[in-house]
Structure 1
C-alpha cells in the first residue's frame, strides 16, 4: 500500500504533531508500506528553521530523534519532501495565518507531482487546514482515499483564543471547514469530545474515527517507587541524572512542566505557582525558633505552621516556544525554579520519570479544542498530574483518576493542589499508578497504530470492492 502524508510538522521535531507524524511514518515503513511525506523543514517549537536544514525544496532521508540516524526500513520505503515556508520570530494571529498559508502554497506543486506516484491513501494532518483542500484534490485525481486527521481544531481555537476576530469571518471560515470535512473518506481526531465536534460539523458517523495519540511504553522503566515521607524515590537516592544536572536535592519534590511553551497553555500560572511556593519557603523559615543547640521547626503554634508548611518543591520548566521568554521574565529571582531546553527523545522516559508531579496548565478557552499531546507521556511515567481545566472538559475527566484538577487561571488553587501532592507520597503513588494503568490500557503505541492500520486497510479495500462491482455493472 502507498500512503502519502501531508503536514507542516514532521521528524526531527521532538514535540507535538511532528513527533507523532514521524512515528506514524516509521511504524508504517517497518510494517512494509511505501510512504511519502510532503512537509516543511523542522522549525517547531523554537519558531526558527533548525540548523542543517535549508528553507527550500529538497528531498532528504527520514530522520529520527537523532539527525544522524536514518529510519530502519524493513520491506517498506520512505521519502521525505521538504518545502519552504515563512517562519515568524514572534507568531501572532495574522502572522500565523501567513505562516501556514506559505507552506500550503509552496507544497502545492509537490503534492500535485505525487499524483504520478498513484498513492492509495492521502493522509493530511490539521493544522494547518490550508493543506486539506489540496490533499483532497490529489486524492481525487489519483483515485486514492482521502483521510483528514485533526490534532487541533485550529479554526475554533484561533477565534476562541482571540488570535482571529470577527463573527462574519468566523462564520465564513466555519462554513468552508464543514464543507471540506464532509468530503473526506475518513476524518479522525484524538479524543471522544473532539470526535463529537467533528460529527457536529457534519462528518458522517461511518467516516469518523477515534485515533488517539499514543506513547511507547517501552521507553519508561517503571519500578516500585520506593517513596518515603521526604519524597525521595529509591532510584534517586544516589542523586543521579537530572537531579545532579540541575542541582536539586534528593529530598526535594520536583514539579515538572515539559513541552511546548506557547499561547494555549496559559503558562503564567506556572510562574505564579512557583512564586507562591517561594513565599511558602519564606513563611516556613519565619516559623522557626533558635536554641543554644540547634535551629528547630517551631512546634509551639502548629496550626499556622501546618498551613504554611510545604516540603521543598522545585519547579522545573522544560521546553521551548514563543512563550518561553515571558515565562523566564516572570520567574526572575525565584530560587525554586529551573529551566531546561527540550531534551533528546532518547531521554524522554528519564525526564518524565524524574518528576514527582507533572504540571499541565491549559487556558479555559482551549477546552475540548485540543487534547494536550504531552499527557500521554505523563501518564506512562507513573507520576501524578496537576491540570487546569473546566470541570466538564474531557481533560478533567481523564486526569481526575490519576491526578488533581483545578479551574484554569486560579494560581492559588493550582499551587494548593501541587502542595497537597508534595506532602502526600502515598497519594502520589496511588494516582501515578492509576495513570500508568490508563496508559497501558488505552495509549499503547502498537495497539493504537494497529487499529489505525486496520482502518486504513478497511477504507482502501472498500474502494477496491466498489471498483470491482462497478466493473461488473453493479453499483453499491
Structure 2
C-alpha cells in the first residue's frame, strides 16, 4: 500500500510526537508499504529550527526506507496566540502544496495525518477527498481545547462554538480516527465519531532500552547529586505543563537536605522558570538530554513528577508517562479521579489535586521517607508499562488496523461527495483560522 503520512513533528526531535511519528513510518516501511512523510523542520522543544536544517526551502531524502519531505514553516521563539496560529498555518500551507505535488506524481491509498497540527490535517482531508484516498486522523491531543486550557488561546472568542462544531464534523468525516488513551477515544465518540471508526493507538514505552537500572548513574555524579533522593521532571517546559507547582513544592521542602529537584528539558517557558527558581539551591534546571541518555536520566531519579493543568485533563495524555513507568520508579501526578492519567497511575503512583503544591510536597515526602513503598510502586509501574505499553505489541496491532483500513473499499457515495465535502471543510477551516487571527490581533494577544 502507498501511504502519505502528514506530521508537523518528526525525527530527529527527541521528545513529544516526533519520535512516535518516525517509528510508525519506519515500521510501516519495514512491513513492505511505500511510505512518504511530509513533515516540518525539527524545532521542538526548543522552538528553534535546528541549525543543520535551516538551509534550503523544501528538502527531500530517504531515511530508513521512508521518503521524507521537510517543509518550510515559521517557528516563533515564544509561541503566543497569534504566533502559534501562524506557526501552524505556515506549515499547513507548505505541507498542503507538498502533498498535492506528491499526490499528482503518485496517488496514495491512505493519507494518515497527525493532530497537532489540526489545520494541516485538514489539508490532508482535502487531498484525500480529491484523490479518493482513505483518510486516517491520529489525534495526539485536542489542540484547540488544550490551547484554551493553557491560556494560549482565549476562551472568549465569539466563534469558539462554530469552530468546535467544524472540528467535530471534521473528525466525523475521517475513515478512521485514532487517539492515544481510552478517555481520549471516548472524547472522540462524544464528538460524534462512530465507535467502529475509532481506534486506540497509544504512545508506547521504550521497554527494551528503558528499564529499572541502578540509581548510581554517571549523571548523578556529573551533577553532584550524591545520595540525595532525586525528584525528576523531564520534558517540555511550556505553559501546558504547569511547572510552577513543582517550584512551589520545592520551596515547601527547602528544609529537606536529603531531597533535590531536577527539571530537565527545553521550551518557551524555561527562561521564566529559571528566574522563578532563583534562591532554590536544591532545585536544578538542566538541558534536555539526548535520547541515547534517556534511560540513564530516568534511572537517576527516585521519584517522577508529572504536573498537569486541571483544565487540560483528557485533552492529552503525556507521552512521557509510559517511559517513566518503564523505568521502574513511582510517579506523582497532579490529576483528578476519573481522568486518563489518574487511571494509568492507579496502584503504581500517587495522585494529588492539580494546583495544590502543599499536597504535592506531602506526597513527595511520603515517598522520600519510605524506600520500600517506592520500590513496590516502581515494580508495579514497570509491570504495567510492559503489559500495556510494550512497543512491539502496540505497533503490531496498529499494523493490523492499518492493513484493514487500507483494504476497505470506499463506497461510491463517499467517493462522489469527497471533493465537495473537502472543499467545504477547507472553507470552514480557513474562515475559522482568519477569524481567530483577527480576534487575537484585536485583543492584543501576541
Tell me, yes or no, whether TM beats 0.5. Answer: yes
Tell me how far 1:408 sits from its aligned partner: 0.8
**Match in the other structure for 2:9:** 9
**Match in the other structure for 1:86:** 74
**Match in the other structure for 1:404:** 350
CA distance in 1, matches of 2:274, 2:150: 22
| Match of residue 136, structure 2, among 134, 147, 153 | 147
- Greater than 4 Å deviation, 4+ residue runs: none
CA distance in 1, matches of 2:275, 2:237: 14
Other structure's SS at 1:217 match: coil
List aligned pairs for 1:34-433, cutoff 5 A: 34-54=34-54, 56-61=56-61, 71=64, 77-115=65-103, 116-165=105-154, 166=156, 168-222=158-212, 235-236=214-215, 239-249=216-226, 251-281=227-257, 312-433=258-379
What's the TM-score, normalizing by structure 1? 0.83
Task: Provide Cα deviations, 1:97-129, integer angstroms capped at 9, x if missing partner.
Answer: 111011111221111012122212100000111
Aligned residues: 411
Q: Which has the larger radius of gyration?
A: 1
Task: Provide Cα deviations, 1:288-347, integer angstroms capped at 9, x if missing partner.
Answer: xxxxxxxxxxxxxxxxxxxxxxxx111111100011111111111222122221111111
Tell me how far 1:394 sits from its aligned partner: 1.8
CA distance in 2, matches of 1:417, 1:56: 50
CA contact (8 A) 1:4 1:119 kept: yes
Other structure's SS at 1:375 match: helix
**Structure 2: 5+ residue runs without aligned partners?**
416-446
CA contact (8 A) 1:59 1:79 kept: no
What's the TM-score, normalizing by structure 2? 0.89
Higher relative contact order (CA 8 A, sep 6+): 2
Tell me how far 1:60 sits from its aligned partner: 4.0
**Structure 1: 5+ residue runs without aligned partners?**
63-69, 72-76, 224-234, 282-311, 471-476
**Match in the other structure for 1:473:** none
CA distance in 1, matches of 2:211, 2:345: 22
Stretch deviating more after TM superposition (314-323 or 134-143): 134-143
CA contact (8 A) 1:55 1:85 kept: no
CA contact (8 A) 1:3 1:123 kept: yes
Distance 1:187 1:426, change over 3 A: same
CA contact (8 A) 1:274 1:334 kept: yes
